[in-house]
Amino acid sequence: MSTQSPTPRPGREHADGLTGAASVVIEGLHKAYGSLEVLKGISLTVGAGQVVCLIGPSGSGKSTLLRCVNLLETPQQGRITIGDFDVTDPEADVDRMRRHVGMVFQQFNLFPHLSVLENCTVAQVKVLKRDRAEAERIARGNLERVGLAEKADGFPDQLSGGQQQRVAIARALSMDPSLMLFDEPTSALDPETVGDVLAIMRNLAAEGMTMLVVTHEMEFARDVADKVVFMDGGVVVEEGPAAEVIGNPREPRTQAFLSRVLNPTQVEAPEQ
């Protein structure tokens, strides 16, 4: 309920509480699938414009946590707010919230029958009600931003995995997100294309995008993250600055995980 709101930047939707980079606050989050408790009271904060990297072994609940943030999964307990927006309020306008949250998955989920440009315009027209010319202008700007302006008329199957992921990022950016969620965006890519995707994510971080990133790219986390959170078994085991959590972990579980990830060929000694 704003009376005197600031003037929105041209071409950007103005939505109270969700314009520009938003913070994320997660408090006491619980999620179970039947009797399987996957999230056991997770609390986690991402400041506006900050990057938080979420690390942890497979099955620890990282994807479930990310999916709860934009209500692709409904938590049983706990609270999530994005900016001023209470996502877990049963009355929350979920569609409005989702318009402001970009999500990039391991599998890029592009529409195979649509051109690269159309992939980046369809939601702008359908959801944000932008006219086609405006949507195309914004899409082309974002394709330029990810270095794929010349592929606008191509189709997803003509692109490498890394290029498809860059289109997925351009598509998400075209919705003017206040928050970007990344779930292992480079895990399915050929090694030689990983660097291009990480470079784009580094730029986004430098531009002040709020980002919650599940990744096994420890160098990226070390360089870019304001905070690293190590999850295991549905709980946050350790969190702090990257230099501490990755460089000098306190918890034995974090130490064991990092030695596996950083030295993948090393055979671990059995626990005493």
Ligand X SMILES: Nc1ncnc2c1ncn2[C@@H]1O[C@H](COP(=O)(O)OP(=O)(O)O)[C@@H](O)[C@H]1O
Using CB under 5 A, list all residues that contact Mg ion. Answer: 63
CA distance linking residue 48 with residue 19, whole number of Å: 11
What's the number of CA atoms in the CB half-sphere (13 Å) around residue 166? 27
Contact between 269 and ligand X (CB under 6 A)?
A: no
What six digits make up the tokens of 225? 């993250």
Contact between 260 and ligand X (CB under 6 A)?
A: no
Q: If contact means CB under 5 to 8 A according to the sort of partner, which of ligand X, Mg ion, none does residue 28 touch?
A: none
CA distance linking residue 158 with residue 223, whole number of Å: 32
Contact between 1 and ligand X (CB under 6 A)?
A: no
Contact between 215 and ligand X (CB under 6 A)?
A: no
Q: 16-35 mask for ligand X (x: CB under 6 A)?
A: -----------------x--
What's the number of CA atoms in the CB half-sphere (13 Å) around residue 272? 1
Contact between 74 and ligand X (CB under 6 A)?
A: no
Smallest gap from Cβ 268 to ligand X, in A, equals: 20
What are 27's strand-pairing partners? Answer: 79
Candidate segments 7-15, 60-68, 125-133, 189-197, binder of ligand X by CB under 6 A: 60-68
CA distance linking residue 227 with residue 212, whole number of Å: 10
Query: Which residue type, as a one-letter code, is found at position 182?
Result: F
Contact between 110 and ligand X (CB under 6 A)?
A: no
* Binding residue count for ligand X, defined by CB under 6 A: 11
Candidate segments 53-61, 141-149, 238-246, 252-260, binder of ligand X by CB under 6 A: 53-61
Smallest gap from Cβ 61 to ligand X, in A, equals: 4
CA distance linking residue 225 with residue 245, whole number of Å: 11
Contact between 64 and ligand X (CB under 6 A)?
A: yes
DSSP string covering 17-39, please? T-SSS--EEEEEEEEEETTEEEE
Q: Which residues bind ligand X (CB under 6 A)?
A: 33, 36, 38, 56, 58-64
